[in-house]
Amino acid sequence: MRLVFLYGQVATGKLTVGKALAARTGLPLFHNHLVVDAVAAVFPFGSDAFVRLREQFWLEVVAEAARQGRSLIFTFAPEPSVAGDFPERVQSLVESHGGQALFVALTLDRAEQERRLLAEERAAFGKLRSLELLRTLHGEFERCMTAMPAPALAIDTGRTSPDQAAERIAQLL
């Protein structure tokens, strides 16, 4: 089992690259907002219940996939409401079932990130679209990114198309 742990800050193209990778490889895409949106429908983002249930859901899905030997793509946005050791726990969980977690970082310069943030398609999953909030939280997002495990691959999505990024990741697999 291989877990492609695709991570990056807001608007780096995690879902877009994940979709392109899923189309190329046939791997299922378990993207961040499937769980975030489901839990946020009942509990406010960042509340104790939200944080606990979001993490439980993520871990249970990854654990069951690992038990069944089902590889998948998981998108993740490092941010302050997620436990700092979450990526390592996911990696340990996958490895405990004989699998491998492959960390792939998506990066983007700040000007392009802000331009993308306002894109209409970001509204589909209730994604962050506030420049003011992004700018307020920028330092915390940066800190969370630097705390992530070293990636096997880092891709600047401002200079690489989603299809090119998917091809690079597929080659790594």
pLDDT tens digits, 4-50: 999 998 888 999 999 999 999 999 999 998 999 899 999 998 999 99
CATH top-level class for 2-172? alpha beta
CA distance 116 to 63: 33
pLDDT tens digits, 37-53: 899 999 998 999 999 99
Q: Sheet harboring 153-156: ordered strands across?
A: 29-30, 72-76, 2-8, 100-107, 153-156
pTM of the model: 0.89
CB 25 within 8 A of CB 93: no
CA distance 168 to 122: 25
Q: Where are the domains of the chain?
A: 2-172
